[in-house]
Structure 1
Amino acid sequence: MIWVILLLAIVAGLAFIRLTPSDASRWHRPIGEAENTDGEGWSARVVPSTPGLLSDLHQGMLALPRTELLAGSVGEGRLTYITRSKMMGFPDYTTIEQDGNQIKLYARLRFGKSDLGVNGKRLDGLLQRVRAKRGEEGA
């Protein structure tokens, strides 16, 4: 009997993680001060802006598996995405923002404390793919 209750609790927890709506007003906010750093459950990158870079980053994010746009647009200058983990469907949020002559990228988890470096790897991979596409050393 205890195993049935435990199994039901696990299924309910996974359903909550997978089905809880994402409130755009909570996640789609200005990034503020940022630098190239990683924290517990989050990562930030700042790169010099070049013409078309925000659009290229947007296309790069949409090309990632299990990623969708939550809010924003290239024209607005800020975009926020949800990327879900393959096995459990845990949501991570990534905001990309044009701020003057910089583009700021901020990725963070919603549930838990550690992302095991996934958000930093996602940002670094995105920047590498966009740089390669553009034929640039630095994007």
Structure 2
Amino acid sequence: MTFLWLILVLAVGFAGYVRVAPSDPVKWHKEPKVDHNSDNENSVRRLVMSGRDGLARFHQVAMGTPRTTVLAGSVEDGMVTYVTRSKLMAYPDYTTAYQDGDMLKIYGRSRFGRKDFGVNANRVETWIDAL
């Protein structure tokens, strides 16, 4: 019985940590290294021919998404990193968008876990489709 209580306390503790853990802009707000489209188990990279206003339009779409905030950067800076939290557990996912001429480089990734079950790819594709 003690073992079950320990597991429960650890699970609740982890869930609490996920909700309040600080996001360090130095770690997460970096120019995305994107030279081709790719999907990994907990991340997605996309290159989009967007025109020079792509980041501004992308920003409008991203900011219209529930539970999404800006971690760092701005459209004027040419790079923005967003934090989108899941509805139930408030897991943070980070999406960095960088305007490189007419190309928009997008990198979405999870902070916790090894697999995101396609959540980042779905969000990024939805945002791209809305452009």
**TM-score interval w.r.t. the shorter chain?**
over 0.9
Task: State the percentage of identical aligned residues.
Answer: 41
Are 1:75 and 2:76 an aligned pair? Answer: yes
| Contact map agreement 2:85 2:91 (CA 8 A) in 1 | yes
Are 1:40 and 2:41 an aligned pair? Answer: yes
SS in 1 for 2:97: strand
Deviations 1:52-85 (A, max 9, x none): 2211100111111111000000010000010111
Corresponding position of 1:7: 8
Give the distance between the partners of 1:81 and 1:34, measured in 2 at CA. Answer: 21
TM normalised by structure 2 equals 0.93
- Where structure 2 has 5 or more consecutive residues not aligned to the other structure, the ranges are none
Give the distance between the partners of 1:67 and 1:34, measured in 2 at CA. Answer: 26
Deviations 1:85-109 (A, max 9, x none): 1111111000000112211111000
Number of equivalences: 130
| Contact map agreement 2:52 2:103 (CA 8 A) in 1 | no
TM normalised by structure 1 equals 0.88
Are 1:65 and 2:66 an aligned pair? Answer: yes
Give the distance between the partners of 2:123 and 2:34, measured in 1 at CA. Answer: 20
Offset, 1:49: 2.9
Task: Quote the RMSD (CA, aligned, Å).
Answer: 1.2
Which one is further off, 63-72 or 44-53?
44-53
What letter matches 1:113 in structure 2? R
Give the distance between the partners of 1:7 and 1:112, measured in 2 at CA. Answer: 19
Corresponding position of 1:136: none
Alignment of 1:1-139 (within 5 A): 1-2=1-2, 3-130=4-131
Offset, 1:8: 1.4
SS in 1 for 2:108: strand
| Contact map agreement 2:52 2:102 (CA 8 A) in 1 | no
| Contact map agreement 2:83 2:92 (CA 8 A) in 1 | yes
Offset, 1:5: 2.4
| Contact map agreement 2:52 2:99 (CA 8 A) in 1 | no
- Where structure 1 has 5 or more consecutive residues not aligned to the other structure, the ranges are 131-139
